[in-house]
Amino acid sequence: MTVRASVDGIDVVVPEGTLIIRAAETLGTFIPRFCDHPLLDPVAACRMCLVEIEGMPKPQASCAVTLTEGMKVRTQMTSQVAEQAQAGVMEFLLINHPLDCPVCDKGGECPLQNQAMTAGRPDSRFGGPKREFPKPLAISTEILLDRERCVSCARCTRFSEQVAGDPFIDLLERGSDQQVGIAHDEPFNSYFSGNTIQICPVGALTSTSYRFRSRPFDLVSVKTTCEHCASGCALRTDYRRDFVMRRLAWEDPAVNEDWNCDKGRFAFTYMRHGRLSAPLVRGSDGVLHEVSWSEAIAFAAKGLSALSPSVAALLGGRLTNEDAYSFAKFTRLVLQSDNIDFRNRPSSGEEADFLAHHVAGTGLVVTYEDLENAPIVLLVSLEPEEESPIIFLRLRKAYRKSGLKVAVIGPLLTRGLRKLGAQLLSTVAGGEAATIDSLLAGDLRGSQSVLTALKKKGAVILVGERAASSAGAYSASIDLANETGAKLAWVPRRAGERGALDAGALAGLLPGGRLMADAAARADVARVWGVEPSDLAVRRGKPQEKILREISEGKIDALITAGLQISDAPDVDTFKQALSEAKFIVSFEQRLSDVSSYAHVILPVASVIEKGGSFTDWEGRVRHFNRALNDSPAVSDSTVLGMLAKEMGAPNTGWRIDEVQYEMAKLLGEGPTGTKKEFKRAGAPTIEAADVKAPPSGSAVLSTWHQLLDLGVMQGPEEHLAGTRRPSQVIISPGRAKQLGVATGDLVTVSTVNGVVTLPVEIDEIHEDSVWLPMNSPGSQVLVTLKAREGATVKVAKA
Amino acid sequence: MAAKRSSQKLRPIITEHWDDPNLFTLAGYQKVGGYKALKAALKKTPDQVIELVKASGLRGRGGAGFPTGMKWGFVPKKGDKPRYLVVNADESEPGACKDVPLMLADPHLLVEGVIITSYAIEAKEAFIYIRGEVPEAVRRVSWAVKEAREAGLIGRNVAGSDYSLEVTVHAGAGAYICGEETALLDSLEGFRGQPRLKPPFPAVAGLYAAPTVINNVETIANVPFIVTNGAEWFRGYGTEKSPGFKLWAVSGHVERPGIYEAPFGITMRELLDYAGGVRYGRDVKFWIPGGSSVPMLTAEHLDIPLTYEDLAAAGTMLGTGTPMVFDTTTSVVKAVTRWLEFYKHESCGKCTPCREGTYWVVDILQRFEQGDGKKTELKLLDDLSNQIEGRSFCALGDAAATPFPAAMKYFADEFDLATKTPVDKTFDPAATMLKSPVAV
């Protein structure tokens, strides 16, 4: 339904329910505003957007009135009443606003400053004392508040309450004493707090890390893609003289809308600390020495040539699509090996089969928009707020706006899930498949509405990468999708995983989900690579866990690693063992890592701002970005692989980014040259649900996932951000707490034969047989300390 | 035009038995016929009660004068949401003092009105939101509700009927803004009291987003009389557009301040006579008909009939119908300054014009009070009033913009004088005090 009305005498036809301020925008008329934000509920508090409406005695707030049939609206462009009303409000807003624009971070990009130019007076009629507050007020370690600059538009408080679901800030006091504030000892530790800085129409909110660092007009802005997780946020990277000053969310309605998370916003300084500037080669003295690029490439090529094809490539999930693709190609073509895996995390053969069958090269199947319009979204082994925060925001939006039903198969309704009004289908880790089976069989208590909703058109199942630790979970998810007709999507945590999968960085898979074993698919890839099908590796390779074992068994001799960390691996000991026994290790690094001490050659590569490329988000949407710092001498992994390939005498096929992207477009069906062909796909995994047995007394089944802000290396030096982390705690059920005789905050130990984690306890309605630990947070590094993965049986005791 | 109407005399209806010290008890109230109206109402259908009140022409006594029956009729009777009645007993307007005495003297009248009104709009739950600064009123009404519940008049099967009702008494925490009906709802729900965006109006989505009727105490108190005596009887008082009678709470510089009950159409001069005239035989300098939020009038306007329509024609409003009288010892500059200080202190902060406007206007007025005003600032004050009025979020912002322009209309000289001479030099502050010695 549309309505016809007029704005400033110009006819407009807009959908029913369109706000006047939006309708005016379609005509190119910008009505000044402060409190209005298209993604927040109207509040009409600032009164800046007043317009005249024929037949109404008073000017009306155009941000809160919808256009109705025949309505005649006159904005400041044609109405003196509107113009004067706006000028009056602007004058009021400025009386208490400090004249500190020259030192204010917002100066130069400030809606108040800009609109004061159009709606303000040249001089002030106010002669009294201005309102003052002590400043700045640290409302968290990351966010600072200058209350005297605030215009009480309530964008920040509404964002926190409505969008993030974290009402940790609110307006306090009344009248001219009104101010934004936090509760005593309850800082603004929201994962999305940085967005409030960006939507603040004045300089009242600033970040500790950027405050007073730069002026907007000295910055060069580049559109980039976030490298932290698979949500795929478009970012604005602002740099000054080859130095990134800050990052913001770039508006992208299809993906992150106007938002991003604090990790994406603030965790970028890892790029400037401890970077390697020259290649390192381990000398006969056993020590790493800086060498020239030509020496390092020659050394690496010689080592790899000698051991090829007994070589494997481990990629770790952080690479851009282009780099992952180049590794996939280099391994098959130059190393003559299919030993490649992008998953340096708990993974499984079932997962590899699932990905090959259902995910690799399928393009956009489920989108953010699908989540928003779904009748239900069922989450399996996925904690969206911690593992894919933009999915969380979109689910919350749909839950608030259209009552989206969210159901989750997991051990606990976390705070994040409660913000989605989620229904819990409770299970211990490892019981996901069994739960899905009984959901389908209709004998899971209280789940009938979930099953009914899943059968509706548009229903979505999201399965997270942690399903790899739960035998049968991927298989059961496919069954559930097939039985109900719901769409099924896979949500990895890291930004590079989906792209690496599509690029063929997994044993047995060529780019675009083509099977190595399929002669037609091999021929197609070989054609694009300009080689014969027989030039590609033939023997089916191994996944990471087997690769590591085979190194220890002497079956694989050499390794190439890229952006890898031992502490992420599911079995740290085996990893270290393999690294120490490998005959030759070439490591692609931005900074020294825990792999470096084992490596024979370390090749320094570019960070995401020093190269162009793309990431593929969980949807399968390719998120291109341009090189931000053009003067950086750093080179991409692809370029380095090209140098190695040349040195090793490989066929001269493209390794430059434009060549890589051209090839990828051909193979993955993206862009104008893209031709997506259908090849044979892998079959679905059919792993039976594991038997779930109750743990013995004193023990529990471990549930664990990464918190958004944790000990991840890319958050490394950002201590202001680290201050907003959630506290590390162990979660047990009230029954277990009673059994152990512990109260909230008491110390509890969780242990395996390998180690002990001791943390304060939080008592929550978690599955009676479960215990939860943060995966990689201060005091709780599950893989390193307990050497256990999700679903393991662990001992729980009072400390 | 005033002369054409017959003069209206005092006629105690609501206040008839207020002299009885036991009226506040159930027994005392029933002795004078209390709760008979309820029984009569329960014999009618809810819609019949609404029609009756519509026919009576009863208008809201909270200030805006909206037709009560029409308001009740807006509440959708279908739908799965509950309906609520909320009584606005947050009487905080400077000069208004009618609801609090009513709640102290005759709390059961309010309770009876609440039950009838709830029945009419088919609400199963009613809330009485009482200004927290008057614990006595909270105690009396709470006591009355308790007595009524024990007597079977509230709770399951009200007075033996099929109708059930719960009544909750809630004390506010002392904010003028919570007298604004949507801010009151926020406050009642446990939030910080700030007005809500309309639409949706409370009749559609009010308390807990359910259909809600919000009525003033005095409005509700009229309902039992209308039920007992009928719409025609009610219309026999007052004028066509302002039917009925009113609690006129006369305060200020009069000999006998207090509540005088009389039909609409009585004049201020008559009310002044009942109140013993201006103290010490002085003259009226200015008066406001109904709370500080309505523009002031002067001695010239004493013969205007006190009705919604006549006062509107005179450029002011009936408001809460609680006239405040100021004699010739009063500095209008000082009075306006005090009012604006009140509005500044009580501004909720939500919208810019009220929050910043009152801050600025008070800054200027306080300098005028010190004899330090500038002539150019009179134009500025006028501009600022225009920048607030009609631009603010709720009516309370508009109210803050009324005192100055009205005062300038009649007493521009005094503001001129305040650009040179401190107000206290022109008007002896001791003389204007209510308890001032006679011979000042």
Residue type, A373: N
Q: Around Cβ B281, how many Cβ atoms within 10 Å?
A: 9
From chain B, the residues in CB contact with A152 under 8 A are: 349-350, 352, 355
Residue A215 phi, psi dihedral angles, 5° rounding = -110, 145
CA distance A383 to A403: 19
Q: What is the pLDDT of residue A678?
A: 77
CA distance A180 to chain B (A): 11
Q: What is the pLDDT of residue A109?
A: 96
Question: Is residue A206's pLDDT more than 50?
Answer: yes
- Interchain contact B415–A (C-beta under 8 A): no
CB pair distance less than 8 Å for A58 and B348: no
A interface test, pick of B343, B360, B386 with most A CB neighbours within 10 Å: B360
A127-271 under CATH 3.40.140.10, yes or no: no
CB pair distance less than 8 Å for B352 and A46: yes
From chain B, the residues in CB contact with A58 under 8 A are: 390-391
Q: Around Cβ A697, how many Cβ atoms within 10 Å?
A: 6
Candidates B177, B192, B356; nearest CB to A176:
B356
Start-to-end C-alpha separation, chain A: 64
Answer for the pair A110, A97: CB distance below 8 angstroms, yes or no.
Answer: no
From chain B, the residues in CB contact with A96 under 8 A are: 356, 359
CB pair distance less than 8 Å for B359 and A178: no
Q: Around Cβ A603, how many Cβ atoms within 10 Å?
A: 26
From chain A, the residues in CB contact with B345 under 8 A are: 175
CA distance B392 to chain A (A): 7
B interface test, pick of A46, A92, A95, A155 with most B CB neighbours within 10 Å: A92
- Interchain contact A81–B (C-beta under 8 A): no
From chain B, the residues in CB contact with A151 under 8 A are: 352
Grouping H, G, I as helix, E, B as strand and the rest as coil, residue B435 is coil
Q: Kindly indicate the confidence band of residue A672, based on its pLDDT and cuts at 50, 70 and 90.
A: low
CB pair distance less than 8 Å for A152 and B350: yes
B interface test, pick of A174, A180, A202 with most B CB neighbours within 10 Å: A174
Q: How far is CA A537 from CA A251, A291, A338, B392, in A?
A: 43, 32, 6, 74
From chain A, the residues in CB contact with B347 under 8 A are: 174-176
As a whole number, mean pLDDT of residues A354-361 equals 96
- Interchain contact B352–A (C-beta under 8 A): yes
CA distance A695 to A692: 9
Answer for the pair B318, B294: CB distance below 8 angstroms, yes or no.
Answer: yes
CA distance B316 to A210: 55
Pick the range with the lowest mean pLDDT from A115-124, A627-636, B1-10: B1-10
And the tokens for B332? 């209008």
- Interchain contact B364–A (C-beta under 8 A): yes
And the tokens for B136? 């006595």
Architecture of domain A293-345+498-668: 3-Layer(aba) Sandwich (3.40)
Every domain range in chain A assigned CATH 3.10.20.740: 2-95
As a whole number, mean pLDDT of residues A585-613 equals 96
Looking at chain B, which residue has its C-alpha nearest residue A65? B199
And the tokens for B228? 């007992």
Q: What is the pLDDT of residue A716?
A: 84
Longest CA pairwise span in chain B (Å): 71
| Strand blocks (E) in B178-323 | 212-216, 245-252, 258-263, 284-288, 297-298
And the tokens for A790? 């999700």
Q: How far is CA A646 from CA A253, A311, A526, A589, A798, in A?
A: 43, 18, 18, 20, 60
As a whole number, mean pLDDT of residues A500-514 equals 96
Q: Kindly indicate the confidence band of residue B79, based on its pLDDT and cuts at 50, 70 and 90.
A: confident
Q: Kindly indicate the confidence band of residue A670, based on its pLDDT and cuts at 50, 70 and 90.
A: low
Grouping H, G, I as helix, E, B as strand and the rest as coil, residue A559 is strand
CA distance B358 to chain A (A): 8
Q: What is the pLDDT of residues B94-121, one digit of tens each?
A: 999 999 999 999 999 999 999 999 999 9
Answer for the pair B21, B209: CB distance below 8 angstroms, yes or no.
Answer: no
Every domain range in chain A assigned CATH 3.40.228.10: 352-493
- Interchain contact B344–A (C-beta under 8 A): yes
CB pair distance less than 8 Å for B387 and A58: no
Q: CATH for A699-798?
A: 2.40.40.20
CATH level 3 topology of A2-95: Ubiquitin-like (UB roll) (3.10.20)
Q: What is the pLDDT of residues A81-118, one digit of tens each?
A: 999 999 999 999 999 999 999 999 999 999 999 999 99
Whose structure tokens read 């965790």? A267
Q: DSSP labels for B21-65?
A: TTTTSHHHHHHTTTTHHHHHHHHS-HHHHHHHHHHHT-B-SSSS-
- Put simply, the chain A residues between 132 and 161 with a CB less than 8 A from any chain B CB are 151-152
CB pair distance less than 8 Å for B355 and A176: yes
Q: Kindly indicate the confidence band of residue A755, based on its pLDDT and cuts at 50, 70 and 90.
A: very high
DSSP code, position A788? -
Radius of gyration, alpha carbons of chain A: 28
Q: What is the pLDDT of residues B277-295, one digit of tens each?
A: 999 999 999 999 999 999 9
- Interchain contact A88–B (C-beta under 8 A): yes
- Interchain contact B179–A (C-beta under 8 A): no
Every domain range in chain A assigned CATH 3.40.50.740: 293-345+498-668
Distance of CA A318 to the CA centre of its chain: 12
Beta carbons within 8 Å of A473's beta carbon, 6+ residues apart: A380, A381, A432, A433, A436, A463, A467
From chain A, the residues in CB contact with B375 under 8 A are: none
Candidates A58, A126, A177; nearest CB to B390:
A58
Question: Is residue B7's pLDDT more than 50?
Answer: no
Q: How far is CA B205 from CA A45, B86, B121, B209, in A?
A: 20, 13, 15, 4
- Interchain contact B372–A (C-beta under 8 A): no
Q: Which helix (H) or strand (E) holds B86?
A: strand B84-89
- Interchain contact B379–A (C-beta under 8 A): no
CB pair distance less than 8 Å for A175 and B348: yes
Looking at chain B, which residue has its C-alpha nearest residue A90? B352
The three state secondary structure string of A190-247 is CCCCHHHHHHCCCCCEEECCCCCCCCHHHCEEEEEECCCCCCCCEEEEEEECCEEEEE
From chain B, the residues in CB contact with A177 under 8 A are: 349
Q: Around Cβ A129, how many Cβ atoms within 10 Å?
A: 8
Q: CATH for A352-493?
A: 3.40.228.10
CA distance A147 to chain B (A): 14
Q: How far is CA A534 from CA A333, A504, A642, A769, B334, in A?
A: 10, 18, 21, 53, 99
| Long-range pairs for A397-403: beta carbons < 8 A, 24 or more residues apart | A397/A39, A397/A163, A397/A257, A397/A372, A398/A371, A398/A372, A398/A373, A398/A374, A400/A162, A402/A372, A402/A373
Q: What is the pLDDT of residue A671?
A: 55
Radius of gyration, alpha carbons of chain B: 22
In this prediction the ipTM stands at 0.94
CB pair distance less than 8 Å for A131 and B359: yes
A interface test, pick of B352, B364, B369, B384 with most A CB neighbours within 10 Å: B352
Looking at chain A, which residue has its C-alpha nearest residue B365? A128
Nearest C-alpha neighbor of A154 from the set A199, A221, A209: A199
Q: What is the pLDDT of residues A231-276, one digit of tens each?
A: 999 999 999 998 999 999 999 999 999 999 999 999 999 998 899 9
The three state secondary structure string of A353-422 is HHHHHHHCCCCCCCCHHHHHHCCEEEEECCCHHHHCHHHHHHHHHHHHHHCCEEEEEECCCCHHHHCCCC
DSSP code, position A20? H
Q: What is the pLDDT of residue B438?
A: 57
Question: Is residue B1's pLDDT more than 50?
Answer: no
Question: Is residue A663's pLDDT more than 60?
Answer: yes
Whose structure tokens read 């790493």? A288
- Interchain contact B387–A (C-beta under 8 A): yes
Pick the range with the lowest mean pLDDT from A60-69, B4-13, B145-154: B4-13
Question: Is residue A631's pLDDT more than 70?
Answer: yes
Looking at chain B, which residue has its C-alpha nearest residue A88? B387
From chain A, the residues in CB contact with B349 under 8 A are: 152, 171, 173-178
From the number of C-beta atoms within 10 Å of its C-beta (0-12, 13-18, 19+), residue B435 rates as exposed
Answer for the pair B378, A115: CB distance below 8 angstroms, yes or no.
Answer: no
CB pair distance less than 8 Å for B359 and A43: no
Candidates A43, A58, A92; nearest CB to B357:
A92
Q: Kindly indicate the confidence band of residue B5, based on its pLDDT and cuts at 50, 70 and 90.
A: very low
Looking at chain B, which residue has its C-alpha nearest residue A56? B390
Answer for the pair B116, B227: CB distance below 8 angstroms, yes or no.
Answer: yes
Share the mean pLDDT of chain A. 95
Question: What dihedral do alpha carbons B198, B202, B206, B211 form, nearest 10°?
Answer: -140
Start-to-end C-alpha separation, chain B: 38
DSSP code, position A252? B
Q: Which helix (H) or strand (E) holds B311?
A: helix B308-313
Nearest C-alpha neighbor of A689 from the set A481, A489, A480, A545: A480
Q: What is the pLDDT of residues B113-143, one digit of tens each?
A: 999 999 999 999 999 999 999 999 999 999 9
Q: What is the pLDDT of residues A295-340, one digit of tens each?
A: 999 999 999 999 999 999 999 999 999 999 999 999 999 999 999 9
Answer for the pair A426, A411: CB distance below 8 angstroms, yes or no.
Answer: yes
Cβ-Cβ contacts under 8 Å between A and B: the total is 97
Q: What is the percent of chain A where pLDDT is above 90?
A: 95
Candidates B348, B387, B392; nearest CB to A174:
B348
CA distance B358 to A208: 34
CA distance B403 to B410: 11
* Alpha-helical segments (H) within A553-686: 572-581, 637-647, 657-668
CB pair distance less than 8 Å for B355 and A128: no
Question: What dihedral do alpha carbons A703, A709, A712, A713 form, nearest 10°?
Answer: -170
Q: Kindly indicate the confidence band of residue B6, based on its pLDDT and cuts at 50, 70 and 90.
A: very low
From chain B, the residues in CB contact with A46 under 8 A are: 351-352
- Interchain contact A403–B (C-beta under 8 A): no
Candidates A44, A125, A171; nearest CB to B393:
A44
- Interchain contact A46–B (C-beta under 8 A): yes
Nearest C-alpha neighbor of A652 from the set A562, A535, A518, A509: A535
Question: Is residue B8's pLDDT more than 60?
Answer: no
Q: What is the pLDDT of residue A652?
A: 73
